[in-house]
Structures are given as C-alpha cells and as structure tokens.
Amino acid sequence: MTLTVGSRASALAKAQVREVLTQWRPAFPDVTFRQRVILEGGDRDRRTSTLAAVAKTSGGSAFSTNQEAALAAGEVDVIVHSLKDLPTAMAPGLTLLPCPGPRADVRDVLCGATLADLPDGARIGTGAPRRIAQLLVLRPDVEVLPIRGNVPGRLARARSRGGSLDAVVLAAAGLHRLHLDSEISQYLDPETYPPSPGQGALGIQVRTGSEAARVLADIGTPEVDAAVRAERALLADLHGGCSVPVGTYTSLTPTGHLRLRAAVTSLDGERQVTGVGSGPLDEPEKLGRAVAADLLRQGAGDILAAIRL
Ligand SMILES: NCc1[nH]cc(CCC(=O)O)c1CC(=O)O
C-alpha cells in the first residue's frame, strides 16, 4: 500500500513530515510513504500588515484550506499540520487522528534579547494577538510590530545588525525542529505566558473512514493526545482559533492527572483572566470545558468580543 503524505512547503512543514515518517516507516513496513507539498496562498504572501489585519487573518483556516482540499480530493492521504494552526471545527469528511508524541517544547521564546535586557520602549516583532497581548502584560512599555512570514524570515528581522527590531517572539518547537536553538535568548515561562492551544504538537489529518485512517489509527501518544484535547476543547468553548489571545499550558501531575492552566488577555494587555483546573487523563474535554467556563465567568467573553469588533 502507498500513502501520500502532504504538507505545506516551508522548511518547518517538511521537517515535521520527516519527523513522523521516521516513526511510521519502521512501524508500518508494508506501507510505502510518499511526500507531497501543497502550496498555500500564505506561502507566497510575506508582506507585513497592520495589527488589525493580522488579528483578522492569522487564524488557522487560512493555513489549512488547500491542504484540506487536497486531502478531501484524494490527492494526498494524510496531512501533517502544526496542530495549533488547525481550526477546532473539522472540515466535513476529515478526521484528526490521535496526536502522536513526543510533543515538542510548548513554550514561546524571545530571540534577540531577554525580557530583562530589553530597553524601555523596545521594538518587538510578532503578529500573533496572543503574543502581543501577553507581552504587553509583562512589559507595557514595549512597542509591538506585526511581522509575518516563515520562521527563518522572522528571525532575520531580529538578527540583522542595526535592524528594526530588538527581539521577536517565536515558538520553541519551530526553532528546535529547524535546528535553530542557538537563536533562542529566553524561554518564556508557560505559567505566566501560556502558549497557543496545541503548540508544539502535530495534527495528523486523514479522510474519515479511509485506509490511512485505519492503518494509522494507533499512532497517538495518550498523554499528548489528552493534553491537546483539553486545550482544544477550551479553545472551542471560547469560540477561538489561533488568532485569539487564548493561551493554555497543560502539565501532568504527580498522580497522573492533567493540569490545565489558561489565560485570556485583552490586546492592550490591560485585562487578563486566568484559570486552572485538573482532571483525569481519560476526560480531557471535560477539563477543557470546565476551565473555559471558569474563564467565561470571569469575563473572558467580553475580552474576546472586544477583539472581534
Ligand atoms: N503560526 C505559525 C506557526 N505554526 C506552527 C509554528 C511552530 C510551533 C508549533 O509547531 O506549534 C509556527 C511558528 C511560530 O509560532 O513561531
């Protein structure tokens, strides 16, 4: 049997495909895996835009549309996504497989300077509303500039001598997968700076009921899958995609329970509600929904509504 594995064209997307194929080729010796790149509109559009435009367009669906269309049409059998870029509502006829491990480092990082080193009024590059909002909580003095594009491109903005930025915020996961760890100046504490739901995890998508779905049914790692299910259930209940300032951080307690911490932050960093909860590994969605309900009781709905205006 041959299964064609699709992904975006970026070096990160290709590294993610290599990572899963390193696991799957020995685990499924009877399957021949082929790789295929599917371009997205965003792959050709590297322009920066205003904060408002980024807040509207940096959502997950813009990233996955052509991938999902190719999967639905049978041009590929499996898509390897960055899970955080995948909307919580699944396209009809497509299924997300249990999440494989290991999950990469979930934390956000600063490249170019540490929080303590940043001069007053420092210029920081990031287009993600969550990162903008959380940075402004910690450092209300900084100026946030929207930057888009792939990971190496964004890094170059902080690295260029006399460049326009003091630092950029990126995901540790992408830098690790691209072997760019040496660019990291500081890991941001995930308790105070919780990353995007699903950050660092891979989203493996197939056609519902397909051969690929059957063959790959058991690729998941239970602790990783439970954590991302809790995070995505929380996000779904807040009606958010990766373009809203919702951060989540899941850890495993000494007794093997899931602990989920979450924060919703206004874009100006002036309002933040946080919640934490724990629950058994086999009911992750229940935990996600409970923490979401707690955040909504504290006013998360108003914070998010103000951003959607
Ligand atoms: N939104 C872009 C994106 N999608 C996935 C990653 C890498 C991190 C991951 O795999 O979760 C990145 C780059 C970044 O956020 O720095």
Kind of pairing between the strands at 186-187 and 108-111: antiparallel
pLDDT of 239-277, one tens digit each?
866 578 999 999 999 999 999 999 999 999 999 999 999
User: What local confidence, expressed as pLDDT, does residue 241 receive?
Assistant: 63
Residues 248/264, Cβ–Cβ less than 8 Å: no
For the chain, give the percent of residues with pLDDT over 90.
79
Give residues with Cβ within 8 angstroms of 142, minimum separation 6.
118, 121, 122, 123, 124, 135, 136
pLDDT of 2-45, one tens digit each?
999 999 999 999 999 999 999 999 999 999 999 999 998 766 64
pLDDT at 236 over 70: yes
What integer is the mean pLDDT of 196-219?
98
Kind of pairing between the strands at 123-125 and 143-145: parallel
Assess whether 103 carries a catalytic annotation.
no
pLDDT of 33-88, one tens digit each?
999 999 987 666 444 333 333 333 444 444 457 999 999 999 999 999 999 999 99
| Active-site residue (options: 123, 130, 229, 261) | 130
Assess whether 85 carries a catalytic annotation.
yes
Whole-prediction pTM: 0.91
Give, using CA atoms, the residue closest to atom 7 of ligand 1.
174
Nearest Cα residue to 4 out of 95, 93, 78, 94: 78
What integer is the mean pLDDT of 86-100?
94
User: What local confidence, expressed as pLDDT, does residue 225 receive?
Assistant: 98
User: What local confidence, expressed as pLDDT, does residue 279 receive?
Assistant: 98
Q: Which residue has the higher pLDDT, 60 or 223?
A: 223
Determine the distance separating the centroid of ligand 1 and the alpha carbon of 86, expressed in angstroms.
11
Determine the distance separating the centroid of ligand 1 and the alpha carbon of 170, expressed in angstroms.
7
pLDDT at 231 over 60: yes
Assess whether 99 carries a catalytic annotation.
no
User: What local confidence, expressed as pLDDT, does residue 177 receive?
Assistant: 97
Give, using CA atoms, the residue closest to atom 2 of ligand 1.
85
Assess whether 14 carries a catalytic annotation.
no
User: What local confidence, expressed as pLDDT, does residue 43 receive?
Assistant: 66
Assess whether 43 carries a catalytic annotation.
no
pLDDT band at 115 (very low <50, low <70, confident <90, very high): very high
What is the pLDDT of the chain when averaged over all its residues? 90
60-69, 125-134, 228-237: which range is least confident on average?
Answer: 60-69
Give, using CA atoms, the residue closest to atom 5 of ligand 1.
82
Tokens of 306: 């103000």
User: What local confidence, expressed as pLDDT, does residue 240 receive?
Assistant: 67
Assess whether 154 carries a catalytic annotation.
yes
pLDDT at 293 over 80: yes
Which structural domains are found in the chain, ordered by start? 108-187 (3.40.190.10)
User: What local confidence, expressed as pLDDT, does residue 57 receive?
Assistant: 43
Please report, for residues 4, 13, 51, 92, 295, the alpha-carbon distance to residue 104 in angstroms, rounded to integers and kept in the order given.
24, 14, 28, 29, 27
pLDDT at 234 over 90: yes
CA–CA separation, 106 and 198 (whole Å): 8
Contact residues of ligand 1, CB 6 A cut-off:
82, 84-85, 151, 170-171, 173-174, 199-200
pLDDT band at 148 (very low <50, low <70, confident <90, very high): confident
Kind of pairing between the strands at 32-37 and 2-7: parallel
CA–CA separation, 171 and 105 (whole Å): 8
CA–CA separation, 40 and 37 (whole Å): 10
pLDDT at 104 over 70: yes
**Which atom belonging to ligand 1 lies closest to the Cα atom of 196?**
11
User: What local confidence, expressed as pLDDT, does residue 230 receive?
Assistant: 98
